[in-house]
Amino acid sequence: MTIAARRLPGLPGGGNGPGAEWLAWAPEARDIRQPNQITGQRAPAPVRILNEGEIRGVVTAADAVRVVEQAFAALAKGEARLPDPLHLDIPDAEGEVHLKGAHLAGAPYFVFKVASGFWRNPEKGLPTGSGLMLAFDGTTGFPAALLLDNGFLTEVRTGAAGAVAAKYLARRAPETVAVIGAGRQARHQLRALAVVRELRRARIWSRTRPRAESCAREMSAELGVEAEPASTVEAAVREADVVITVTPSREPLVRADWLAEGTHITAVGSDGPDKQELHVEVLARADRVVADRLSQCLRLGEIHHAVAAGVLREEDVAGELGDLVIGRIPGRTSPEQITVADLTGVGVQDAAIAAWALERAAALDLGRSLEGGARPGP
C-alpha cells in the first residue's frame, strides 16, 4: 500500500481550515489491480479491515477534537454532503440503531456508520453500545475499508464534539464540571473536555450510584481531577460551570433554576425525537443556543422540544457549531452568559474520524486485507 500526502479543502492544511496538515490516504495512491484478461476490467483494491484494538491504538482524544472541529468547519463552509440520519427502534429489546454518513469535499472516502444502543445488554454482560463504520472509495464507490470499532469511534467523536462546543462556549477556567450519566460517553466527554480546558473538579450523577462512583474513581486517576459522585441531578448541577448530559432519558432531568450564571450546558443524549434531558425552560433561559446541525435539532434534539413548547423559535438559535469554528458567529461574549450546545450527532463527524483512523492505520500498516472484485460486464 502506497501512502500519499495530500491536502484536503476545508481540512488541516487545506488553506482555510484550522490545525495542522492532514495526511490523506488518497484513492489514486491505492493499489488498483491489472485488468482482468477476460473482461478487461480492473479489480478494485482489497478492503482494509481494522479491529477495535487497532483503532483504539491510533485515535486519541486530542486527535478526535482536532478532526471533528475541522469537519464542522467544512460543514459550515458547504464542503460536505450528507443525508439525514436514519433511526430504527427495536422496542422488544429496548434497542435503537442509528445510521449516519457523509462525504467531505476532497476527502478520499465517503463513510457510513451504524451505531446501536441496547439498554438490556449489561444484564447479559455486554456493553450497551456497538457499531461499525464502512469507508468507500470517493472516486469509484467501491468498498475501501471496514472499521470494526464496536462503537468506539462514535463515542470518541461524540466526546470531541462536546469539547469543540466547550472551546467556544464555556468559560476559560471552569472550576466544576457536572456530568449527568456515568457510562462510556461520560468518560469520553471528560477526556475530550480536558483537551480544551483545564479540569479541576467533576461531579458525576447516575441513577445507579455504584456506576457514578466507578466513573469518578476512573476519571480521578486518569485525568487528575477531583471527581466525586453526586446524590442527585440537582446536587451535581448547582454551581457547576459546565454541565454535560449523556443519558438516554425520555424525561427532562436538568431544571433552569438550578443553573448558575455563566454555566455552559452540552446536551448529548437527545438524539431521538422522544429523548429529552433538559427542561425546555433551560433553553428559554439561555443567552445563546447553538446546534450541531439545526435541521436535525429541530427534529430530534433539545431544540425540538423547546420549539414545540413555544419557548424558543428557530430564529432564536444563534447558529451551528461549525459557524462558531469558522467565526461566522461569536461564541461566549461575557462571563455571565448561559450557553447551550444541542448535539444530536452529525455524519461529518463520522467521516472525519474514520478517515483519520484509516490514515494512521495505513501509515503503521495495521489491519488485514480482504480481496474484492468487480462484477463482469459494464
Q: Topology of 27-154+348-365 in CATH?
A: ornithine cyclodeaminase, domain 1 (3.30.1780)
Cell for 115? 451505531
Task: Give me the residue spans of the domains in the chain.
Answer: 27-154+348-365, 158-345
Hey, what amino acid is at 198?
E
Position 272 scores a pLDDT of 85
Pairing outcome for strands 47-51 and 143-148: parallel
CATH fourth-level superfamily of 158-345? NAD(P)-binding Rossmann-like Domain (3.40.50.720)
Instruction: Determine the straight-line distance between the first and last CA of the chain, rounded to whole angstroms.
Output: 27
Res. 184: pLDDT tops 50: yes
| Residues whose CB falls within 8 Å of the CB of residue 289, separated by 6 or more in sequence, listed in order | 283, 303, 312, 316, 317, 318, 339, 340, 342
Cβ pair 345, 292 in contact under 8 A: yes
Residue 167 catalytic? no
Out of 100, 113, 167, 275, pick the active-site residue: 113
Give the containing element (helix H, strand E) for 311.
Answer: none
Q: Work out the pLDDT band at 169, boundaries 50, 70, 90.
A: very high
pTM: 0.87
Give the containing element (helix H, strand E) for 206.
Answer: none
Average pLDDT over all residues of the chain: 89
Percent of the chain topping pLDDT 70: 87
Residues recorded for the chain: 378
Res. 124: pLDDT tops 60: yes
Res. 154: pLDDT tops 60: yes
* 313 class by beta-carbon count within 10 Å (0-12 exposed, 13-18 middle, 19+ buried): exposed
**Three-state DSSP class for 256?**
helix
Q: Work out the pLDDT band at 41, boundaries 50, 70, 90.
A: low
